[in-house]
Structure 1
Amino acid sequence: MATFRDLGLNEQLLTSIEEMGFTQPTNIQEKAIPVLLSGTKDLVGLAQTGTGKTAAFGLPLLQLVDPAKKFPQALVICPTRELCMQIVNEIENFNKHSKGIHLVAVYGGTSISAQIRDIRRGVQIVVATPGRLIDLIERKAINLEEISYVVLDEADEMLNMGFQDDIETILKNTPKRESTWLFSATMPPEIRSVSKRYMKDPFEITVGKKNTASKSVDHQYVVTQAQHRYEVLKRLIDFNPGMYGIIFTRTKADAQEITEKLTREGYDIEALHGDLSQQQRNKVMDEFREKTLQLLIATDVAARGIDVQGITHVINFELPDDIEVYTHRSGRTGRAGKTGVCISIVHSRETRRIRDIERITQVPFHKLEVPSGKDVCRKQFFYFMDKLLSADISHGDYETYLPMLSEKFAEVSKEEVLKRVAALEFDRFLKYYENAEDLNMREREQRFERRDDRSGGDRRRDTRGREFSGGGNMTRLFVNIGTKDGFYKASFLQFILDMSDLPKDVLGRIDMKEMNSWIEVDKDAARKMTQAIDGKKYKGRRIRMNEADSVRR
């Protein structure tokens, strides 16, 4: 297998790579770096998150830019501020021994004046989110005319988020670029269209199969009733002491609600969603990286670009609609040669989707029983014993206290001391789980639910377990947003749910056209959705939402 020394990198970069402990390039690095070092070849790289794409384009950029020229020569465009900062941090590590090369991260949610000052000081590489870069272009605060290299990282995510027009505007403002490098997990028609218009005979690299989930992750699921999702989540956390994980929810409302509940019950957890300021987001991510927080709960949009090492578990509070989103979620664990676990909480109607994900991602799923209360207590007890036996007692002056301890416990047996220690540690668990109910959905209940589905039963439950009317109690809403606005069905669904703070269960069929869409929604939720969305603005255009009956289709 090739080493980094076989790829044509200079000694400064090789020294940084060796100091970081890397010896062999990943597949995408081995295939891309020699091509990109030519500086004149367009490239399309298809690879999942976590395959080493940043080094694949970052190392060639550091070698190609001229440190003597104090203006932007390379531009990296990515979908989120988190990914923007992550890319800059990683390239800075490789830049340690390269003299005179400067980078700047340009993203929204923080002072644009400071970013303008950094650019004016003289930078060779700019890493930017599309919106903030467009803002800088319009202010004439950045000149892209001398850009030689443009990188589009996670291009499919940028299109999903509605950035296609922004990307095309940016590419039109880089007339002297020598090469364009596009990295994406998938190749939808829109990406292919961009590559045809703005790239010349690109060299294509594919690493792994499309939608293939990581084999280093154990994919698991539990089946329960919808109203038990939160209790199942709590039980899974308690059954895995020492878990360092991310919990994914569909909406920011769910993320916030679950965070507040778990925080009240003593868990170290914070939510990551679109309502956080950049300062709040940075604080949460710093605490999570430092493991001050045991758990992070996030929506898919907010979690884009997160790359944290050592995550042991990913929990899907609900399955996502898109299989691509599932592979992105599960790929947050099982990285850098380590193994991980991805657990999905599903109800019986979703088991067919588990089979679909199995078939498309080509990985097996293992069905688990929701742990019983006794199982949780037993697991916590053994974890505590192991922690007790492995406690480091070498740094304290414990010998000083031994005579006092011996005197204090002279009349207490060893067994009683152990019982009292256990009582102090486990009193809360034992009381909570003393009469814990069975949260598994048994075969009889699943058969009843399937029969209810076939008979057109009109009672369903939303994600919080509340019943609402289904079947004939649905109405259809019209909204003047469609595929031309940059939405796919999944991103449109997320947009609607985030705007209205409603659970997905209230929605029925979604029919998207180029200019407009029609949404089936439970009548009880339709008014709240309309009030939340009608009259708001998207990309400067007023959103119109009303009952479809009042609109000619």
Structure 2
Amino acid sequence: MNPFSTLGIRHDIVNAISELGFENPTPIQEQSIPVLLTGSNDFVGLAQTGTGKTAAFGLPLLELLDFEENHPQALILCPTRELCLQITNDIKNYSKNMTNVNVVAVYGGANISDQLRQIKRGVQIVVATPGRMLDIINRKAINFSEVQFVVLDEADEMLNMGFQEDIDSILSTTPEDKKTWLFSATMPTEVRRIAKKYMTDPFELTMGEKNTGNVNIEHEYYIVRARDKYAAFKRIVDFNPEIFGIVFCRTKIETQEIAESLIKDGYNADALHGDLSQQQRDKVMKRYRERSLQLLIATDVAARGIDVNDVTHVINYSLPDEVENYTHRSGRTARAGKTGVSIAIINSKELGKIRHIERIIGKKFTKAEIPNGFDVCEKQLFAIVHKVHNVEVNEQQIEQYLPRIMDEFKELSKEDVIKRFASIEFNRFLEYYKNAPDLNAPADDRLRDDRGERGERAPRAAGGKSEYTRLFINLGSVDDFSRGDLLNYICNTAKISGRIVGKIDLKGVFSFFEVPNEESDKVFEGFKGAEFNGRPVRIEVSGEGTSERREGGGNRDFKRREGGSYSGGGRREGGYSGGAPRERREGGNSGGGFRDFSGKRREDRSSGNGGGERRRRP
């Protein structure tokens, strides 16, 4: 008997999930399903990603709802399109032996008319992202007055993404006596608050300690100089020939730039971020699931809900701002009881973040060394050997060619043939890593990381001159900008690359950002006549509350002028810059993209970087 039957799940559902490979319930399923099947409790379930939460709430819903009635009886809210589609497909698969089960996915980026038509035809389970769901409610196109169950999946991430008001508005349309089931990987105070607001004496189930990481994940960190970060990242990838991983960046621009550089260097990689259309996103995910992509470069938001089997590595190219996001990132590997590795590539100033994450997840990180060129070549050689040893031979098809093959090799011994086959790939890596430098940050450099990417330049010495100009812009979070959005807007308007932009300090009605002194003219020129939502966009050199005059701005000398601002007219000549450098934001890269990959200007990249790290990957 399938163990799911003993939990109270009926045979037609058990038969369906058995065909899907469900043999034994996971701990969260085993303990939550009997409770939820009673239908009498609000519920809070805390468990890591990859532990089977969808089945934990999906199977009880299929038992409790009346599928003879064609009106919404259950609403499942989740943070992303990917997760919305995944939950919908899972529930459809669980219910394939049942009749009249109608599940509709409601999410942005797809045709709303199609979704409205599906709702109108009749639906019992609605799976939705908050934004699109609220849009449909405002159109009065759905009636939730008879909803019995509301599921908040990945509740922590929905709140992190700013969906609190949308959730409030949506839940206000549901009955008071409904049951609310909340599932989350972490339990920050915001999630605790939402549980208190919408639930009455909920049953709480915690699998493991709060916010702890999966015990099957190994955590490693590498310390590198900022200018060597991309080269070190590539070397880590090459040292793991069978890697099938997700690489996390902070921003859309950084994600896109890394993916493009990897593709140019011969890697099977692509980007996944919020600027992709649903069609583009589906295409990328299809390639990744089919493993025609080896590396998926993603932002935190875009990667939510990705449920791909056998991810071997999660690489944190940039550490997340929130520790909880590290838990979500690392949870993309070691799913369904398997093992995985979570890697962080950091500079020496981020060691404090590593220690903080260790305390939160309750696991120690292993400090690892960037492998040298010889180690990589050796690893690649034996990967080739294993591939040859394990290749499946199609005897029938190759038989007709064997006489010609044997004739070609007749003068070679067995050892000669083996050496030649192994050398086909091995020689490429030998050339690629010839004279490859040591990329581990020497001990004395860990106290002074030199400028290699945004947010990682060395502090200006007392009385010295900054290489960056800090600019004011009259746009901020009230304009629905995140740091990444603002970076994207600045780059598109000024026609500059995201990798040169320094720290972005997002405020309410205004913000600050840094650009190299020699690029400031270009920024002012790009914002001539610029408007946002019908109002002029104003750029100034930041005064930081001080009257110290900015001296030495590369090719530009700023002189004070009354008014001190620029607002869509001619070139500005005034403004101030603070004398003392602002403290660098912990974590380095604060807003998308990176300065370069090799410590050189981008136009020099084709010439390599001493040791072959920029030569095209074989």
Give the secondary structure class of the aligned counterpart of 2:243. coil
> 1:171 matched to which residue of 2?
171
The C-alpha deviation readout for 1:197-237, integer Å capped at 9, x for no partner, is 32222222222222212221111111111011111111111
Q: How much has 1:8 moved relative to structure 2? A: 2.3
- 1:360 matched to 2:363? The reply is no
> 1:461 matched to which residue of 2?
452
Opposite residue 207 of structure 2, the aligned amino acid is V
Contact persistence 2:471–2:539 (CA under 8 A): no
> 1:506 matched to which residue of 2?
502
Q: How does 1:238-277 map to 2 (within 5 A)?
A: 238-277=238-277
> 2:129 matched to which residue of 1?
129
Q: Work out the CA distance in 2 between the residues paired with 1:493 and 1:435.
A: 39
Segment drifting more, 390-399 vs 282-291: 390-399
Q: How does 1:527-542 map to 2 (within 5 A)?
A: 536=532
Cα 1:498–1:59 change in 2 (3 A) is farther
> 1:327 matched to which residue of 2?
327
> 2:115 matched to which residue of 1?
115
Q: How much has 1:523 moved relative to structure 2? A: 7.5
> 1:68 matched to which residue of 2?
68
> 1:13 matched to which residue of 2?
13
TM-score of the pair, normalised by structure 2? 0.78
Q: Work out the CA distance in 2 between the residues paired with 1:229 and 1:431.
A: 21
The C-alpha deviation readout for 1:128-153, integer Å capped at 9, x for no partner, is 11111111112222222221111111
Q: How much has 1:385 moved relative to structure 2? A: 0.8
Segment drifting more, 428-437 vs 21-30: 21-30
Q: How much has 1:519 moved relative to structure 2? A: 5.7
Q: Work out the CA distance in 2 between the residues paired with 1:43 and 1:213.
A: 22
Give the secondary structure class of the aligned counterpart of 1:392. coil
TM-score of the pair, normalised by structure 1? 0.87
Contact persistence 1:470–1:522 (CA under 8 A): no
Contact persistence 2:455–2:502 (CA under 8 A): no
Cα 1:9–1:411 change in 2 (3 A) is closer
> 2:219 matched to which residue of 1?
219
Cα 1:443–1:260 change in 2 (3 A) is same
> 2:204 matched to which residue of 1?
204
The C-alpha deviation readout for 1:293-352, integer Å capped at 9, x for no partner, is 111111112111111110001111122222111111111111111111111111111123
Give the secondary structure class of the aligned counterpart of 1:282. helix
> 1:339 matched to which residue of 2?
339
Give the secondary structure class of the aligned counterpart of 1:318. coil
Q: Work out the CA distance in 2 between the residues paired with 1:45 and 1:312.
A: 27
> 1:288 matched to which residue of 2?
288
Contact persistence 1:460–1:467 (CA under 8 A): yes
> 2:384 matched to which residue of 1?
384
Give the secondary structure class of the aligned counterpart of 1:506. coil
The C-alpha deviation readout for 1:47-99, integer Å capped at 9, x for no partner, is 22222211111111111111111111111011100000011111112112222
The C-alpha deviation readout for 1:414-439, integer Å capped at 9, x for no partner, is 33333332333233322211121111
The C-alpha deviation readout for 1:177-212, integer Å capped at 9, x for no partner, is 521112222333333333333222222222222221
Q: Work out the CA distance in 2 between the residues paired with 1:486 and 1:202.
A: 34
Cα 1:138–1:218 change in 2 (3 A) is same
Contact persistence 2:216–2:334 (CA under 8 A): yes
Give the secondary structure class of the aligned counterpart of 2:335. coil
> 2:446 matched to which residue of 1?
446
Q: Work out the CA distance in 1 between the residues paired with 2:372 and 2:319.
A: 23
Q: Work out the CA distance in 1 between the residues paired with 2:408 and 2:194.
A: 77
Segment drifting more, 357-366 vs 27-36: 27-36
Give the secondary structure class of the aligned counterpart of 1:140. coil
Segment drifting more, 428-437 vs 18-27: 18-27
- 1:427 matched to 2:427? The reply is yes
Q: How much has 1:406 moved relative to structure 2? A: 2.5
Q: Work out the CA distance in 1 between the residues paired with 2:264 and 2:396.
A: 33
Q: How does 1:308-323 map to 2 (within 5 A)?
A: 308-323=308-323
> 1:96 matched to which residue of 2?
96
State, as a whole percentage, how many aligned pairs show the same letter. 50
Q: How much has 1:466 moved relative to structure 2? A: 7.9
Contact persistence 2:185–2:328 (CA under 8 A): no
Opposite residue 222 of structure 2, the aligned amino acid is V
Q: How much has 1:486 moved relative to structure 2? A: 10
Q: Work out the CA distance in 1 between the residues paired with 2:118 and 2:50.
A: 29
> 2:371 matched to which residue of 1?
371
Q: How much has 1:397 moved relative to structure 2? A: 3.5
Opposite residue 152 of structure 1, the aligned amino acid is L
Q: How does 1:511-550 map to 2 (within 5 A)?
A: 536=532, 547=542, 549=545
Opposite residue 453 of structure 2, the aligned amino acid is D
> 1:229 matched to which residue of 2?
229
Q: Work out the CA distance in 2 between the residues paired with 1:7 and 1:503.
A: 54
Q: How much has 1:171 moved relative to structure 2? A: 0.5
Cα 1:485–1:531 change in 2 (3 A) is closer
Give the secondary structure class of the aligned counterpart of 1:120. helix
Q: How does 1:27-66 map to 2 (within 5 A)?
A: 27-66=27-66
Q: Work out the CA distance in 1 between the residues paired with 2:37 and 2:537.
A: 46
Cα 1:543–1:193 change in 2 (3 A) is farther
Larger Rg: 2
Contact persistence 2:330–2:342 (CA under 8 A): yes
Cα 1:123–1:333 change in 2 (3 A) is same
Opposite residue 461 of structure 1, the aligned amino acid is G
Q: Work out the CA distance in 1 between the residues paired with 2:333 and 2:64.
A: 33
Contact persistence 1:159–1:486 (CA under 8 A): no
Q: Work out the CA distance in 1 between the residues paired with 2:362 and 2:510.
A: 33
Opposite residue 232 of structure 2, the aligned amino acid is V
Cα 1:409–1:3 change in 2 (3 A) is closer
Q: Work out the CA distance in 2 between the residues paired with 1:355 and 1:536.
A: 42
Contact persistence 1:219–1:366 (CA under 8 A): yes
Give the secondary structure class of the aligned counterpart of 2:241. coil
Give the secondary structure class of the aligned counterpart of 1:461. coil
> 2:616 matched to which residue of 1?
none
Give the secondary structure class of the aligned counterpart of 2:119. helix
Contact persistence 1:81–1:129 (CA under 8 A): yes
Q: Work out the CA distance in 1 between the residues paired with 2:246 and 2:161.
A: 22
Cα 1:495–1:254 change in 2 (3 A) is same
- 1:160 matched to 2:160? The reply is yes
Cα 1:497–1:470 change in 2 (3 A) is farther
Q: How much has 1:263 moved relative to structure 2? A: 1.0
Q: Work out the CA distance in 2 between the residues paired with 1:196 and 1:388.
A: 59
Q: Work out the CA distance in 1 between the residues paired with 2:417 and 2:66.
A: 69
Opposite residue 257 of structure 1, the aligned amino acid is E
- Higher helix residue share: 1
What is the number of equivalent residue pairs in this alignment? Answer: 530
> 2:582 matched to which residue of 1?
none
Q: How much has 1:495 moved relative to structure 2? A: 5.2
Opposite residue 79 of structure 1, the aligned amino acid is P
